[in-house]
Structure 1
């Protein structure tokens, strides 16, 4: 049955409310990226404050020092607990979004993010291990809130958008991550610059006690963008598709859409005598009928997201090695300059490759299609990893130059102009309304399992007590192979969703 309100959503011209929804939904992804990507420079501060004690490492610093090894384990652990929380949040909030409603859970996930970001800054104890356990706990809760935002933001945007520009709208929501990465870098540089100007530490002096306040402030500032959009999230109506197709209240769906779209109620209201049949997808989740109709799609979405996150987060961890070798400032500057240099390097990558990748997807996704962009991204990433990995020990390990940086930047460009963005979009378009948020959460949780493998596995292997160039080479080649596997999964299991309504994609 073609409902008038759903037809109006699919054919509506682009209006101010669409852009407002992008900003409101995207601010959660902005906060997500800020909270996750402010961690690398903060780990520099934590390493200097809690593991180098009274003196800073010098050029002759022994990598076999136990403090250095503990720092690397802390690095992987703090990333891992955040990703574990994200996976749990995606599963829990995704399911609740289908059972209770998108709007009701939307504000709750954002509130968890706000309180957890503030909690990270209040990780106050008397010993380094106690501080980091407390920080890890709040990072886990922060991950739960971030995870909840993924399926809700994607589903809400897909259900508000028209079918002609739906891909661009969802991609624009996801692209806010790029600006979150850039914002985290800028805030880190500004905060560390202020503290540096106030204390003027020298490279071989004891780390200033004020540095312990700097990292807390950086983390707590991440609560501001989330808090700014909390009111507007609570003012958003429930999506018409959820109200009409899950709650079976077509009249209320029409009233809600009249408030936000430039359309009169008489155009979209159904006859009062209309009685909707029970939802045709009355089978339960993971039943035989669900698996027969949607199991292939769910596997394709989950496997693609799992594979791309292995690669994407491994690349982010490899960034510390690139930073040290290319800029030559690893362990040479004082505590604030060290964090500023890492943040600056992240900002340059964001401006030159990450943000352009997101917006290339925004422009092309409704022209080229999701499937082609995802396949292209996996293919180019595979070729770049092979170009870096195969000659790594014979050429790149001692010659990280401008050519290497271009190749390294291409991995981020084509991750975002490719599977990192499309895996966020496709699950929000394929499944029935009463399973849409749940299936997006399952796909995203599979991705975060891949992120844990990339963060913990690659981090442990490539940052051991001594740097093993051969191991790094093998890992880079493996990442290229993972990209080829992602290409195969996309080719065989990912359908094209461009240009069709959500109900047509469901069928």
Structure 2
């Protein structure tokens, strides 16, 4: 027998879509715009960093970042993100979603600016400083994941909750797109203003001193959207589910949501007293009750997010290497440093515009119709199919007549990643766990995903670069490391499809119904009696 639902929570569940829903999507979504911009813009400038700081005077070829430095620059933000997801996810359940929300935003703004101001006496010093600030940038970004998802899930009604949470996450696509567009604008301005006679001849001489401003401006721009949303984040009231179910102050929850929903909601003092009496019956994260009720759910959300992010972040961070391997982006020897940034940004923007962004919004449109389980299973399935379709006949795709076909197939893996597990792995952990553990469990699930991103950033970059070098020395065709990476990613996506069966469907159900808070706490009362 379930306990009677608080009126304030029922009012949220059955509320019609209103302006405050869209306001919450924009406020939380701009955080995710910033998150993805900051995480992925580094891939636009890593080759430029190599040309500026690691060229050898008098050498015929432009400089490149050593594999270990490139992996660190690309991956250190993910280490910070993982830490931030665990810490701020836990803190969000202890202090409240709103209080912690502002801290993460301030950290993101400061560290975006500081990343662009990285300094040092030598190239190593600059890279160390850059990695330091990007770690703490990632730490702030990490907090945004569980807090944004939890806030949106606790504000939404049960009919369209999936679409609202997915819409927040869909801003990640606009962040990737915005990064590419801004890099195109900056590189175009510098390319037009600082042409030199060596532009077409000497790749070392063509790296004009002003190129050092390009990567700094691109990194620092990430502070702007985060700063613009700070005021509105601080104006949002605490979520009613945290106030009522965790802080045990249903009176304050009723007052807050009466303003938001513009209806009169009863404070229900008798239920407040009953909630306070039941605090001792609440099971914790490391309890047998949690393992029995939600252990497999947490295993499902962590494993699927881990496997998904190995594939997703590997593709996003190193697509420039894949495009170079198939010849879609010309050799660095044929263009100057700023021209290379422009062409990498143009390629990544085209992929984002044609496949990444549409994939997110297909999920928003269909998640409350198809359900989370079906979309996630479908996405993993097609990602597996397209990865193997690219990897097995890899030599076929590297032929210049087939490059367009490769790009189309590669784009489809992005589309079904976002119209698939990249969105649903974010949505589901915000719906299926109890309110007092919701932010923590989402943070654990997201941190598992970032562990996958670290595997992708450090492992697959190193694998691709070193295998390509060793195989080339042995006479194998270029890009063999990329082919093996694509094969491995295909296997990883297949495993993700299998672990999806551990994740429950939450379509159309209230958060309390999914988490079983009312029913299970009633069972605990009966057992103790």
CA RMSD of aligned residues (A): 1.7
The equivalent of 1:153 in structure 2 is 148
Matches within 5 A, 1:56-135: 58=61, 68=64, 70-135=65-130
The equivalent of 1:9 in structure 2 is 12
- State the TM-score, normalizing by the size of structure 2: 0.91
Distance 2:58 2:179 in 1: 27
Assess, with a 3 A threshold, how the Cα gap between structure 1 residues 206 and 402 changes in structure 2: closer, same or farther: closer
Deviation at 1:323, TM superposition (A): 2.3
Distance 2:59 2:41 in 1: 22
Distance 2:13 2:250 in 1: 16
- 2:79–2:135 CA contact under 8 A, matched in 1: yes
Distance 1:479 1:281 in 2: 44
Q: SS state of the match for residue 165, structure 2?
A: helix
Q: SS state of the match for residue 329, structure 1?
A: coil
The equivalent of 2:494 in structure 1 is 484
The equivalent of 1:501 in structure 2 is 510
The equivalent of 1:270 in structure 2 is 268
The equivalent of 2:46 in structure 1 is 43
Deviation at 1:34, TM superposition (A): 0.7
Q: SS state of the match for residue 426, structure 1?
A: helix
- 2:87–2:143 CA contact under 8 A, matched in 1: yes
Give deviations 1:419-446, integer Å, cap 9, x for gaps: 0110000000000000000000000000
Shifted more, 422-431 versus 215-224: the winner is 215-224
Shifted more, 280-289 versus 234-243: the winner is 280-289
Give deviations 1:10-65, integer Å, cap 9, x for gaps: 0000000100000000111100111112112211221111012556855xx7xxxx
- State the TM-score, normalizing by the size of structure 1: 0.94
* 2:310 counterpart of 1:310: yes
Give deviations 1:231-270, integer Å, cap 9, x for gaps: 1111110000000000110010011112222322xx3432
Deviation at 1:317, TM superposition (A): 3.9
Q: SS state of the match for residue 186, structure 1?
A: helix
The answer for unaligned runs of 5 or more in structure 1 is: 62-66
- 2:43–2:74 CA contact under 8 A, matched in 1: no
- 1:82–1:142 CA contact under 8 A, matched in 2: yes
Deviation at 1:213, TM superposition (A): 1.7
The answer for unaligned runs of 5 or more in structure 2 is: 473-477, 517-529
Deviation at 1:189, TM superposition (A): 1.3
Assess, with a 3 A threshold, how the Cα gap between structure 1 residues 379 and 269 changes in structure 2: closer, same or farther: same
Q: SS state of the match for residue 273, structure 2?
A: coil
The equivalent of 1:32 in structure 2 is 35
The equivalent of 1:358 in structure 2 is 360
- 2:379–2:420 CA contact under 8 A, matched in 1: yes
Distance 1:196 1:217 in 2: 14
Distance 2:481 2:127 in 1: 29
Distance 1:427 1:368 in 2: 18
Deviation at 1:197, TM superposition (A): 2.0
Assess, with a 3 A threshold, how the Cα gap between structure 1 residues 11 and 333 changes in structure 2: closer, same or farther: same
Deviation at 1:276, TM superposition (A): 2.7
Assess, with a 3 A threshold, how the Cα gap between structure 1 residues 369 and 84 changes in structure 2: closer, same or farther: same
Deviation above 4 Å: which 4+ runs of structure 1? 53-58, 271-274
- 2:149–2:165 CA contact under 8 A, matched in 1: yes
The equivalent of 1:258 in structure 2 is 258
- 2:76–2:135 CA contact under 8 A, matched in 1: yes
Matches within 5 A, 1:164-179: 164-179=159-174
The equivalent of 2:521 in structure 1 is none
- 2:329–2:344 CA contact under 8 A, matched in 1: no
Q: SS state of the match for residue 285, structure 1?
A: coil
- 1:281–1:432 CA contact under 8 A, matched in 2: no
Matches within 5 A, 1:343-492: 343-393=345-395, 395-399=396-400, 400-464=402-466, 466=469, 469-491=479-501
The equivalent of 1:64 in structure 2 is none
Deviation at 1:333, TM superposition (A): 1.2
Give deviations 1:177-224, integer Å, cap 9, x for gaps: 111111111111111222222211314234211111221111111100
User: How many equivalent residue pairs?
Assistant: 495
